[in-house]
Structure 1
Amino acid sequence: MTLAAIPSPPQGVWYLGPIPIRAYALCIIAGIIVAVWLTRRRYAARGGNPEVVLDAAIVAVPAGIIGGRLYHVITDNQKYFCSGCNPVDALKITNGGLGIWGAVILGGLAVAILFRVKKLPLAPFADAVAPAIILAQAIGRLGNWFNQELYGAETNVPWALEIYYRVDDAGRLAPVTGVSTGEVMATVHPTFLYEILWNLLVFALLIWVDRRYRMGHGRVFALYVAGYTLGRFWIEQMRVDEATMVFGLRINTLVSAVVFAAAVIVFLLLKKGRETPSEVDPAHHDRLASGEPAGGDAVAETDAPRGATER
């Protein structure tokens, strides 16, 4: 018997006339906005032009969404390509389903191409964006709460999550687009909440370590990857939703283990220290040195004393 539990939202989709307003999409958008804002501050503090962050967002966001959806569809293909499935559902991104690794790989590739075209080093930007990415992931995970998805096994712990029956206007079961009947289907482990808390912990760790040790050359990003995969490895063990199995393990569990090992090795091999502002963006540094307006908050961030650049 559950004495206390976390309620799920009664619905995850609202309608403005014929237009659906989806909480999942709103959470992703909120995460992107926060990530861009934080990355601008952090990249400027390293000596980069914050306007470059907007350019990166323009190419990274669509590429990341496409990559995330591709990863999800490939690794959970049984949900879309079975005898009773509708393959068109693979395109319905607003129903949920984005794989972070596909998003990071394709989004990262798009940004790498952009920085190569701009002839700027990628590592300082990667270190600036790393904490912002995992903070955005934490915000985006709230979308799983609204969609009543990616939860763990049934439990009666005080922080258990209530999963409701949701139905559409015709009374048919509609877990994502329907409205709650108030009837509880089950109380389960809120694995989305565990991941949110873990992501926030990694975010705080990255900010602290970067300030304390002034890391650069891609080491903050490598630490982000290692930290995220470490948490994802154990959280994945708690999920009960259907998943592709490889060697008896959920595919995301296996990917997390492999990527964690690779990230630790890369972190140990990368050069210590941080790039100077002139190394991050020579042209932007020269403009600041000459007193030319740089736009955005570059001057204030770059000229701020150590320890006051990331509030």
Structure 2
Amino acid sequence: MLPAIPSLPLAFQFASPGPILVRIGPLTIRWYGLLIAAAVLIGVSLSQYLAKRRHINPDLVGDLVIWLVIAAIPAARLYYVLFNWSAYAQNPGQIIAIWQGGIAIHGAILGGIAAALIFARLNRISFWQLADLVAPSLILGQAIGRWGNFFNSEAFGSPTNLPWKLYIPLNQRPTEYADFAYFHPTFLYESLWNLMVFGLLLTLFFRGLKGKLHLKAGTLFLVYWVAYSLGRFWIEALRTDSLMLGPLRIAQVVSLVGIMLGLAGLAWLYIYKRSLPDVAPVREEGVEASER
């Protein structure tokens, strides 16, 4: 049952139906887990398709995804727990309760990068080529995964009366906002932003394939990092549940660092006309000459 929401003219009010999709005996299927699984499956299929278009063995992408999932999900949870330690220290049994929400995408990205570097090194594959193939799937997965926050009634913004406001149940509201019912749907803002970034990356990818752009290895990943970080920086300013380090919002700090590093990498590629350093000598088979 949806919570009762007063009807207002010209209002498109969001309200979560709850975190649980269905219960079958002792089995509980949650929206959050279903969305993550869907994001992974869609991401694998897309990355393998892009690999084929670049004449790179798609099986390598399938193998890489296993590494990414194994590294990214625990890293995302660890990142969230460490920066929210005061809450988990009092209830350590909740640390592993990832199905209740509470993961940080920046932690997942850092864990995934570490896993991809190791994978590329062991398989003598260009890390930057792999990163370019995964970047569109990653941002699409983030767009899908943000809807898990909607079903969990979490990661919302400050109170608002905008027409697209989000209703948050009383037990999910921060204490200081207990008297407010409607909040910015920041999950929606970020999901829409990520879809725009996804469109940008696919446009660059296919224009590169057609020879309309000359994209150097690493370009798509760097564009992803800059574009996502720009959106995350301003959206984070609206949120009420930011992970904090003193007075600083951690996600905004990481986003600023990401923007600077991404722009520096793009300048290195296209202003200084250099290649990004890679982790290992690249194996020749399965990679077309233009990609070496």
- Give the structure-2-normalised TM-score: 0.84
Q: Which amino acid counterpart does residue 195 of structure 2 have in structure 1?
A: L
Say if 1:43 and 1:124, in contact at 8 Å, map to a contact too.
Answer: no
Q: Tell me the equivalent position of 2:44.
A: 36
CA distance in 1, matches of 2:28, 2:91: 21
Q: Tell me the equivalent position of 1:189.
A: 184
TM-superposed CA distance for 1:243, in Å, is 3.0
Counterpart secondary structure, 2:285:
helix
Q: Tell me the equivalent position of 2:206.
A: 211
Say if 1:5 and 1:187, in contact at 8 Å, map to a contact too.
Answer: no
Q: Residues 285 and 125 of structure 1: is their aligned pair in 2 closer, same or farther, counting only changes over 3 Å?
A: closer
Give the number of aligned pairs. 266
Q: Which amino acid counterpart does residue 49 of structure 2 have in structure 1?
A: R
Q: Which amino acid counterpart does residue 64 of structure 1 have in structure 2?
A: A
Q: Tell me the equivalent position of 1:6.
A: 13
Say if 2:236 and 2:242, in contact at 8 Å, map to a contact too.
Answer: no
Q: Tell me the equivalent position of 2:144.
A: 139
Q: Tell me the equivalent position of 1:295.
A: none
Q: Tell me the equivalent position of 2:73.
A: 65
Q: Residues 79 and 5 of structure 1: is their aligned pair in 2 closer, same or farther, counting only changes over 3 Å?
A: farther
Say if 1:138 and 1:199, in contact at 8 Å, map to a contact too.
Answer: yes
1:208-247 equivalences under 5 Å are: 208-212=203-207, 213-241=213-241, 243-246=243-246
Q: Residues 285 and 270 of structure 1: is their aligned pair in 2 closer, same or farther, counting only changes over 3 Å?
A: closer
Counterpart secondary structure, 2:286:
helix
Counterpart secondary structure, 1:65:
helix
Q: Tell me the equivalent position of 1:262.
A: 261
TM-superposed CA distance for 1:282, in Å, is 2.5
Counterpart secondary structure, 1:20:
strand
Q: Deviations over 1:217-265 (max 9, x none)?
A: 111101100111100000000001253244x221111111122111111
Q: Tell me the equivalent position of 1:306.
A: none
1:93-242 equivalences under 5 Å are: 93-165=98-170, 186-212=181-207, 213-241=213-241
Say if 1:124 and 1:216, in contact at 8 Å, map to a contact too.
Answer: no
Structure 1 gap segments, 5+ residues each: 166-172, 176-183, 290-311
Query: Which structure would you say has the larger RCO, counting Cα contacts within 8 Å and 6 or more residues apart?
Result: 1
Structure 2 gap segments, 5+ residues each: 1-5, 173-178, 208-212, 276-280
What percent identity do the matched residue pairs reach?
39
Of 133-142 and 37-46, the range deviating more from structure 2: 37-46
Counterpart secondary structure, 1:156:
coil
- Give the structure-1-normalised TM-score: 0.79
Q: Deviations over 1:37-72 (max 9, x none)?
A: 110011121121001111001111010001111111
Counterpart secondary structure, 2:23:
strand
Q: Deviations over 1:108-134 (max 9, x none)?
A: 211221221111111111111111100
Say if 2:219 and 2:266, in contact at 8 Å, map to a contact too.
Answer: yes
Counterpart secondary structure, 1:283:
coil
Q: Residues 241 and 159 of structure 1: is their aligned pair in 2 closer, same or farther, counting only changes over 3 Å?
A: same
TM-superposed CA distance for 1:79, in Å, is 2.5
CA distance in 1, matches of 2:187, 2:287: 42
Q: Deviations over 1:149-197 (max 9, x none)?
A: 00011111110011135xxxxxxx5x5xxxxxxxx96111000000001
Q: Deviations over 1:83-138 (max 9, x none)?
A: xx311211111111111121112122112212211111111111111111000000
Q: Tell me the equivalent position of 2:60.
A: 52
Q: Tell me the equivalent position of 2:284.
A: 282
